[in-house]
């Protein structure tokens, strides 16, 4: 029995500023998705949010890139935008960069992580959602989960994991992709994905030795870059990921373990600063200090005949208190640098922010050196 899980998200307005989502937008989204469930288009759905991003988690039987599902998501965001405009929320319709839907939501502004797979006897799934950062922020944890034996004990002690996984990596600037196998390509893999603004892990696949179907992904990450669509700064590309766990895959605890360290990501204030990624509960999924710090939530499910059993709010747990405390200490430390790198992002990344408009004003005041 194959199921498709589609996690599609967009910022259609924040209250106040870019901090969080108004409950009325979530209510409207639930209404739209409930109707689609009653009409048989969706098997199930959940509406969530992190920061100012509205998250539509949907299960269905239409496969990935389904026009009907993408249209449903687009129209749901449009309906929520209408309310955001009435309430004059900040940046109403921010991530909807196109006027009309034309068959696929890709390239229109929203972020998408979707995969079709055969539902196992027990199907554990974690949906990760980040705000105030970019798709490359998943490189570090996804590497740790699927390729680092110091994180994932199963890579050493589980016969089903010992052969490793296949990684689909995208060069999002030049629009190319490469498949790398780990452990054999591990160093090549790291040489690419450490450059997280250019190379982004898109999907993970099982190897030939795995009993899982080889063409069905076990994890997928959204890779949409708003700047490449809008050609100007219109907010950050706050990413999402879906990760399957257990029974031939990393255990739930191995999937969550990388977030015990608040590693540094790009984004935060005006999409222009490096800062620690703080794992938080759903109730703390709002961005405040310096529009952050960047946050991640984790919604845990068992899938039963396409239905979402959950969510469990996985970071709502004292086990992640120390990560949060460290994140705050790191935030204090790096904020001291203000406009100086490496708090401010390097020039290549600042090109996607509002800084070029400032540099343009200086153009005529530069004098040539001998």
List residues with catalytic annotation.
11, 233, 236
**Distance from C-alpha of 84 to C-alpha of 211, rounded to nearest angstrom:** 47
A 10 A CB-CB count for 225 gives: 19
- Find the binder of Mg ion among 235, 258, 293, 310 (CB under 5 A): 235
Measured from the CB of residue 245, what is the shortest distance to ligand 13P in angstroms? Answer: 11
235 or 306, CB closer to ligand 13P?
235
C-alpha dihedral (268, 186, 348, 291), degrees to nearest 10: 0
Q: Which residues ranging from 329 to 368 are in contact with Mg ion (CB under 5 A)?
A: none
Stretch of 39-47, 133-141, 235-243, 350-358 lying at the interface with Mg ion (CB under 5 A): 235-243
- Find the binder of Mg ion among 28, 70, 236, 273 (CB under 5 A): 236
Helix %, strand %, coil % of the chain (to 5): 30, 30, 40
79 or 153, CB closer to ligand 13P?
153
70: partner contacted, choices Mg ion, ligand 13P, none (Cβ within 5-8 A by kind): none
Measured from the CB of residue 84, what is the shortest distance to Mg ion in angstroms? Answer: 11
Measured from the CB of residue 181, what is the shortest distance to ligand 13P in angstroms? Answer: 26
115: partner contacted, choices Mg ion, ligand 13P, none (Cβ within 5-8 A by kind): none
120 with 7: CB under 8 angstroms?
no
* 3 state DSSP class of 286: coil
5 with 119: CB under 8 angstroms?
no
**Distance from C-alpha of 103 to C-alpha of 113, rounded to nearest angstrom:** 17
Residue 223, preceding peptide bond in cis (omega within 30° of 0): no
Measured from the CB of residue 48, what is the shortest distance to ligand 13P in angstroms? Answer: 15
Which residue's Cβ has the minimum distance to ligand 13P? Answer: 235
Measured from the CB of residue 237, what is the shortest distance to Mg ion in angstroms? Answer: 6
Tokens, residue 207 = 């190897």
21 or 169, CB closer to Mg ion?
21
349: partner contacted, choices ligand 13P, Mg ion, none (Cβ within 5-8 A by kind): none
Radius of gyration of the chain (CA): 20
Binding positions for ligand 13P, rule: CB under 6 A: 11, 18, 51-52, 94, 131-132, 235-236, 238, 251, 269-271, 291
Beta-carbon contacts of 292 under 8 Å, excluding residues fewer than 6 positions away, are: 132, 267, 268, 269, 275, 278, 331
Measured from the CB of residue 279, what is the shortest distance to ligand 13P in angstroms? Answer: 17
14 with 20: CB under 8 angstroms?
yes
- Find the binder of Mg ion among 19, 37, 79, 91 (CB under 5 A): 91
242 or 269, CB closer to ligand 13P?
269
**Distance from C-alpha of 137 to C-alpha of 200, rounded to nearest angstrom:** 8
Measured from the CB of residue 93, what is the shortest distance to ligand 13P in angstroms? Answer: 12
Q: Which residues ranging from 113 to 172 are in contact with Mg ion (CB under 5 A)?
A: 131
Asked if 14 touches Mg ion (CB under 5 A), the answer is yes
Beta-carbon contacts of 284 under 8 Å, excluding residues fewer than 6 positions away, are: 295
20 or 59, CB closer to ligand 13P?
20
139 or 353, CB closer to ligand 13P?
353
User: Concatenated DSSP letters for 126-183?
Assistant: EEEEEESB-GGGGHHHHHHHHH-TTT-THHHH-TTTTT-EEEEEEETTTTEEEEEEET
Q: Which residues ranging from 51 to 70 are in contact with Mg ion (CB under 5 A)?
A: 51-53
331: partner contacted, choices Mg ion, ligand 13P, none (Cβ within 5-8 A by kind): none
Footprint of Mg ion on this chain (CB under 5 A)?
Answer: 11, 14, 18, 51-53, 91, 131, 235-236, 238
């Amino acid at each position: 029995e194959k199921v498709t899980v589609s996690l599609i998200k967009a910022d259609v307005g924040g209250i106040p500023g870019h901090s969080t989502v108004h409950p009325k937008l979530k209510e409207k989204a639930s209404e739209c998705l409930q109707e689609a469930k009653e009409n048989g288009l969706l098997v199930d759905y959940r509406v969530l949010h992190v920061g100012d991003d509205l998250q539509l988690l949907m299960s269905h039987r239409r496969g990935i890139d389904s026009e009907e599902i993408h249209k449903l998501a687009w129209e749901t965001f449009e309906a929520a935008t209408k309310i955001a405009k009435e309430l004059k929320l900040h940046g109403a319709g921010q991530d909807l960069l196109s006027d009309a839907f034309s068959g696929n939501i890709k390239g229109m502004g929203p972020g998408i992580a979707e995969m079709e797979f055969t539902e196992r006897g027990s199907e554990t799934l974690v949906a990760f959602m980040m705000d105030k950062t970019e798709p490359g922020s998943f490189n570090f944890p996804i590497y740790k989960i699927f390729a680092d034996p110091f994180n994932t004990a199963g890579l050493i002690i589980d016969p089903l994991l010992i052969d490793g996984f296949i990684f689909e990596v995208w060069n999002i600037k030049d629009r190319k992709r490469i498949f790398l196998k780990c452990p054999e390509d591990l160093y090549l893999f790291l040489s690419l994905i450490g450059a997280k603004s250019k190379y982004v892990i898109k999907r993970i696949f099982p190897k030939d030795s795995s009993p899982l179907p080889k063409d069905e992904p076990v994890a997928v990450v959204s890779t949409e870059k708003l700047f490449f669509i809008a050609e100007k700064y219109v907010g950050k590309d706050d990413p999402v990921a879906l990760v399957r766990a257990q029974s031939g895959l990393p255990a739930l605890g191995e999937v969550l373990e990388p977030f015990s360290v608040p590693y540094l990501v790009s984004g935060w204030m005006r999409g222009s600063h490096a800062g620690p990624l703080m794992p938080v509960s759903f109730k703390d999924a709002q961005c405040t200090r310096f529009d952050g710090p960047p946050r991640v939530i984790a919604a845990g499910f068992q899938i039963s005949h396409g239905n979402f059993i959950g969510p469990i709010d996985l970071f709502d747990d004292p086990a992640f208190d120390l990560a949060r405390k460290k994140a705050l200490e790191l935030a204090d430390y790096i904020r001291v640098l203000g406009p100086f790198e490496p708090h401010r992002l390097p020039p290549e990344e600042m090109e996607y922010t509002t800084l070029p408009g400032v540099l343009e004003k200086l153009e005529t005041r530069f004098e040539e050196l001998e």
